[in-house]
Amino acid sequence: MKLGNIEINSTSPVFIIAELSANHNGSLETALETIRAAKRAGADCIKLQTYTADTMTIDCDKDDFIIKGTIWDGQNLHKLYQEAYTPWEWHKELFRVAEEEGLVCFSSPFDKTAVDFLEELNVPAYKIASFEITDIPLIEYVASKGKPVIISTGISEQPDIELALEACKRMGNENIALLKCTSSYPAPINEANMCMVKDLAERYNVISGLSDHTMGATVPIVATCFGARIIEKHFILDRAIGGPDASFSMNEEEFSEMVKAVREAESAIGVVNYALTEKQAKGKDFSRSLYVVENIKAGDIITEKNIRSIRPGFGMHPKFYKEILGKKVLVDLEKGDSIRHEQISQ
């Protein structure tokens, strides 16, 4: 999978996405400064959301359209999206500044008109939000554009994931990533289930990663250790500016610390390699080996009393200890001499 000019595969560095979402709080200048801050914080990408309140839902006050059981309890869906949406007339400037900063920029569309609009901006990829994984016509339309499709799995069971993958493949698009996501805001760490990152990759033969709503860097670090190649976090200049997503978004300092931790985790994972580095090999000087611990005369018998396995490691390997017990030495040996095969009778 290639996102912008960045190749993503099983051995590439984690691709880190800063999610702008509603964190512009209605200000274009805030949105632009958030993009610049994301670059400073070490993000590879800034992601937008492309919808209007009317493409997301309808303006209706019936009970079904009143949010329950979330941090947005009691709010009307249409009014929430009217507050949270990123004006479409901003997109061109947001994309321009992202490119200027060296960030990949793409978006989550929520209907066909958003896809058509984003195609005009030549987006390098599309993100399907967790709550849209069941919108098979939308996924088919996105996939038909032939660009990478990144799908969050926050509300999905296996059949939902499989239907979404089948929709992409029907359109001839197998350039797919699946992100483990817990659709709670903020999400509790004990519901993160990061072992799913590895399972998604292996079960569906796709790039896998994390779309994270937990607080802090712990879950992204664990995701990295389970092979995540993409990590997405909500990003905000300052939670004090407020907004629908502020409470579960990272500020610049927190995001920077997360990026640093992820990069250190990547470095710590390393590769499967049983060979020692030069520095590690030098450590063998402090391993055990066979040494004379009491003076021995030529012709004397080697016993448990006059040789031992001790540090340092310049003598004979301890695996020969039992083999040489009871044999005669051919030369005089002093306490502190390492013992060698040629000094022992065969």
Res. 244 pLDDT band, cuts 50 70 90? confident
Same domain for 91 and 195: yes
In terms of Cα–Cα distance, which of 156, 157, 108, 166 is closest to 136? 166
| Three-state SS at 119 | helix
Task: Tell me if 334 sits within 8 A of 328, measured CB to CB.
Answer: no
What separation in angstroms does the CA of 152 have from each of 62, 132, 155, 209, 214? Answer: 29, 9, 9, 9, 15
3-state DSSP helix/strand/coil percent for the chain, to nearest 5? Answer: 40, 20, 40
Return the half-sphere exposure (C-beta side, CA atoms, 13 A cut-off) of residue 53: 13
Return the half-sphere exposure (C-beta side, CA atoms, 13 A cut-off) of residue 153: 26
Query: Interior CA angle at 107 toward 101 and 111, to 5°?
Result: 160
For residues 290 and 112, give the distance between their C-alpha atoms in angstroms, rounded to a whole number. 76
Same domain for 301 and 168: no
- Residue 176's CATH number: 3.20.20.70
Question: What local confidence, expressed as pLDDT, does residue 179 receive?
Answer: 97
Least confident of 27-41, 63-77, 203-217: 63-77
294 has a pLDDT exceeding 80: yes
305 has a pLDDT exceeding 90: yes
Same domain for 133 and 17: yes
For residues 261 and 108, give the distance between their C-alpha atoms in angstroms, rounded to a whole number. 27
- The answer to whether position 3 is within a domain reads no
Question: What local confidence, expressed as pLDDT, does residue 5 receive?
Answer: 92
Q: Is the pTM of this model over 0.85?
A: yes
In which residue are the tokens 């996105």 written? 142
Res. 250 pLDDT band, cuts 50 70 90? very high
Question: What local confidence, expressed as pLDDT, does residue 103 receive?
Answer: 98
Q: Spell out the alpha helix ranges (H) of 46-157.
A: 53-56, 77-84, 91-100, 112-120, 136-143
Res. 254 pLDDT band, cuts 50 70 90? very high
The string of pLDDT tens digits covering residues 4-43 is 999 999 899 999 999 999 999 999 999 999 999 999 999 9
180 has a pLDDT exceeding 80: yes
Last residue in a domain, options 269, 303, 325: 269
For residues 50 and 129, give the distance between their C-alpha atoms in angstroms, rounded to a whole number. 11
Question: What local confidence, expressed as pLDDT, does residue 31 receive?
Answer: 97
Same domain for 206 and 288: no
- To the nearest whole percent, how much of the chain has pLDDT over 70? 100
Within 10 angstroms of residue 327's Cβ, the number of other Cβ atoms is 13
> Containing domain of residue 206, as a range?
12-269
- To the nearest whole percent, how much of the chain has pLDDT over 90? 87
In the numeric block, which tokens belong to residue 52? 């209007």
In the numeric block, which tokens belong to residue 74? 């009691």
Same domain for 324 and 265: no
Last residue in a domain, options 234, 269, 304: 269
In the numeric block, which tokens belong to residue 126? 């599309």
Q: Collect contacts of 248-256 with beta carbons under 8 A, ≥24 apart.
A: 248/71, 248/185, 248/186, 248/187, 248/213, 248/215, 249/19, 249/21, 249/23, 252/37, 252/38, 252/40, 252/41, 254/216, 254/217, 255/18, 255/38, 255/41, 255/42, 255/43, 256/40, 256/41, 256/42
Count of domains in the chain?
A: 2
For residues 233 and 23, give the distance between their C-alpha atoms in angstroms, rounded to a whole number. 12
184 has a pLDDT exceeding 80: no
Question: What local confidence, expressed as pLDDT, does residue 182 receive?
Answer: 86
The string of pLDDT tens digits covering residues 256-273 is 999 999 999 999 998 889
168 has a pLDDT exceeding 90: yes
The rounded mean pLDDT for the chain is 95
